[in-house]
A and B are shown apart, each in its own frame.
Chain A
Amino acid sequence: MIESCRIVAGIAIQNALEYKERIRRHRLNEQLLVARDIQSDFMPSILPWPDGFRVAGKSEPALYVGGDYYDVVRQPCGGLIAIIADVSGKGIQAAMRMSAVRAAFYSLSQLGLGPGETLARLNNSISEMSRQFGQFVTACCLVFDAPNDRVIMASAGHESPLRYSKSNGAEFIEVEGGLPLGLRSDQVYEEYPIAIGPGESLFLYTDGITDAMNDDKERFGVERMVESFEQNAQKSAAELLDKVFEELETYKGDAPWSDDLTALAIDRGDGGSS
């Protein structure tokens, strides 16, 4: 009789513990969903277009939340400044740092600085926090210059952008960028003009695109990305991104995203004002 009571009590305690754990997981999941919604609001739903350019961005976190970020913000002078950034790591830790990067970028965008100085100040604003956790941020920042058929870009250890022109097809634009943000204070980020005339386009991306894996654990890779960009580069920036992300979805199949993935596309349309 006593033994039976012990067994019943044991089962009851076990059930109570499991119930408590389920409640805890449910609450955690709810919090992650809230975090996902908040972060999704961080990404701009409509990007402003600078005169003579069309711009589109797209982002998918690998987990509920991620460390990628893109934006286009109007400066006090009326011009626009764009950024694409990738915080090292994944999940909550990367997402928290991404929020700090976004806040700092918004503040800096109102100072009317060029992309190089913007990255330099962004670097100093996050360096101290980043060093503590071994985190860094790669980023490309650019401003638009339609009258001269170009953008002015600076890079902090970020993937080289792709450019499409009818004469050369797709090609990587190699620039001598600086260190990723957050690793060393007081860095200088050189600015480079990148020609983008009528009928041409630019594609900036995070490494989650090339690192996306399929069910066989094979990565999407640089070659597939270049091919996808080249095949769709003459579409509008928004259509180009839709096509690239569709191909990524098809490629990965049922596999989860292995990393956050983000892209920013810029095209000139017919070269006139948008």
Chain B
Amino acid sequence: MEVKRNVTDEQVTLTITGEIEVYSLPDFTRLAESFVGGPKNLVIDMKELEYIDSSGLGFLVTLHDRLERSGQHLKLTNMPNHVVRVFKITRLDRILDITVLEPTTT
């Protein structure tokens, strides 16, 4: 998994390439949690996300709850359809703020 970050006063954007899964999670956890108490919005751009496992889903819910408690907001953007499917099956789309990746027009 690769993570690119873009930090402003108001927003942190983490763009993820690859997979969020149990073995790559600790590094991502440390990075994402370092922004708790920081800028108002934490955006995770999932356009290049290939796969997320249940550990990754659990972490996103925990991160969402921690951010909400400190008056911040987590947004998951550009989610590809194969990842949206996982959030819909688990009903986590009811808890988390998600926007779906728009199909590219040719």
Chain A residues packing against B (C-beta within 8 Å):
86-90, 131, 134-136, 138, 157-160, 177-180, 183-184, 207, 211, 259
Contacts and interface: CB of A to CB of B under 8 A. Distances in A.
Nearest to B62: A134
A157 B92 CA distance: 8
Interface of B: 22, 53-55, 57-59, 61-62, 65, 89-92, 94-95
B58 A136 contact: yes
Contacts of B54: 86-89, 136, 138, 207
B91 A88 contact: no
A86 B91 CA distance: 15
Contacts of A136: 54, 57-58, 61, 90
Nearest to B94: A179
A180 B90 contact: yes
15 contacts: A88-B58, A89-B54, A89-B58, A131-B62, A131-B65, A134-B62, A135-B58, A136-B58, A138-B90, A157-B91, A178-B91, A179-B92, A207-B54, A211-B53, A259-B53
Contacts of A89: 22, 54-55, 58
Give the interface SS of chain B, mostly helix, strand, loop or mixed.
Answer: helix
A45 B83 CA distance: 36
A235 B68 CA distance: 50
Given A134-B62, A136-B61, A183-B61, A90 B55 contact: yes
Given A90-B22, A157-B91, A183-B61, 10 more contacts: A89-B54, A90-B55, A131-B62, A134-B59, A135-B58, A157-B89, A157-B90, A157-B92, A159-B89, A184-B95
A160 B94 contact: no
Nearest to A259: B53
Contacts of B89: 157-160
Contact of A179 (B22, B55, B62, B95): B95
B61 A134 contact: yes
Closest 3 interchain pairs by CB?
Answer: A88-B54, A134-B62, A157-B90
Nearest to A177: B91
A88 B94 contact: no
A208 to B, nearest CB: 10
A159 B89 CA distance: 6
